[in-house]
């Protein structure tokens, strides 16, 4: 176990709704990255937060947004849900956010959009 | 854009055999290459990683090799066991700060006893 926790484990929403997913990073880590993993695919980078600031973003629309809190936990918010947003959402924490640093993944939140 | 290709997509071996998974990457600035193992219903678990200043790294039955000139890296598992059965992902660092990862599509390894 990595010490990275995510909630909820599963979630069902309907198209057009909004969703908030939560992540608690491993103790001593100040950087959180979020990834989307569609069925049968590798994780795809959404964005990263370092000390409460966005520190890089992948090719995802603005309806995907995030926050990081002073205790370094993080939220991923998705507005106007679409069917294609159905996926496993993973967060990963790292110690300082420096390049070449190991990222430790949580178990993920499985989101189903109907 | 940046890309990581991973082969094969499925691999079946007998217990005790070796397994090799290969990846190529496109971003010449990539300098960190982790490998993750993902079991059903779980998040990816780091099994080994290699940084660009090293050509090979070994940890018990697992080894990774890196060829920066050819932009490819490989995972080698020796003496495979049924509990090695899982999906394996390679990844490469990308982005301005090099802190994000781009993943391959995964290899489903099946080890039969």
Q: What confidence tens digit (pLDDT) does each residue in B19-67 have?
A: 999 999 999 889 999 999 999 989 999 999 999 888 999 999 999 999 9
- Judged by DSSP in three states, B76 sits in strand
- Kindly write down the DSSP assignment for every residue of B18-29, as one continuous string: -EEEEEEE--TT
Give pLDDT tens digits for A95-114. 988 888 899 999 999 999 99
8 Å CB contact of B34 and A103? yes
All residues of chain A having their beta carbon less than 8 Å from the beta carbon of residue B10 are none
Q: What per-residue confidence (pLDDT) applies to B99?
A: 78
All residues of chain B having their beta carbon less than 8 Å from the beta carbon of residue A102 are 34, 46, 49
Helices (H), strands (E): how many in chain B? 0, 11
Rounded Cα gap, residues A76 and B18, in angstroms: 40
Give pLDDT tens digits for B92-102. 998 656 679 99
Q: Helices marked H in B1-113 — which ranges?
A: none
8 Å CB contact of B103 and A44? yes
To the nearest whole angstrom, how far is the Cα of A14 from the nearest Cα of chain B?
A: 23
8 Å CB contact of A100 and B51? yes
8 Å CB contact of A99 and B31? yes
Cβ atoms of A107 and A6 closer than 8 Å: yes
Give pLDDT tens digits for A27-77. 899 999 999 999 999 999 999 999 899 988 999 999 999 999 999 999 999
Residue with tokens 């301005």: B96
């Amino acid at each position: 176990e990595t010490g990275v926790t995510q909630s909820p484990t599963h979630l069902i929403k309907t198209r057009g709704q909004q969703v908030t997913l939560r992540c608690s990073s491993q103790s001593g880590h100040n950087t959180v990255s979020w990834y989307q993993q569609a069925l049968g695919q590798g994780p795809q980078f959404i964005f990263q937060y370092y000390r409460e600031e966005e520190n890089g973003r992948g090719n995802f629309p603005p309806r995907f947004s995030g926050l990081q809190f002073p205790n370094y936990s993080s939220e991923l918010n998705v507005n106007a849900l679409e069917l294609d947003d159905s996926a496993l959402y993973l967060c990963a924490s790292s110690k300082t956010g420096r390049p070449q640093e190991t990222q430790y993944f949580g178990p993920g939140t499985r989101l189903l959009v109907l | 854009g940046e890309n990581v290709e991973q082969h094969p997509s499925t691999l079946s071996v007998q217990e005790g055999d070796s397994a090799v998974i290969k990846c190529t990457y496109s971003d010449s600035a990539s300098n960190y290459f982790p490998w993750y193992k993902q079991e059903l219903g779980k998040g990816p678990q780091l099994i080994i990683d290699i940084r660009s200043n090293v050509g090979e790294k070994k940890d018990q039955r697992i080894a990774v090799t890196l060829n920066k000139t050819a932009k490819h890296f490989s995972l080698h598992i020796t003496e495979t066991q049924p509990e090695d059965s899982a999906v394996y992902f390679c990844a490469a660092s990308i982005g301005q700060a090099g802190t994000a990862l781009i993943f391959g599509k995964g290899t489903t390894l099946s080890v039969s006893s």
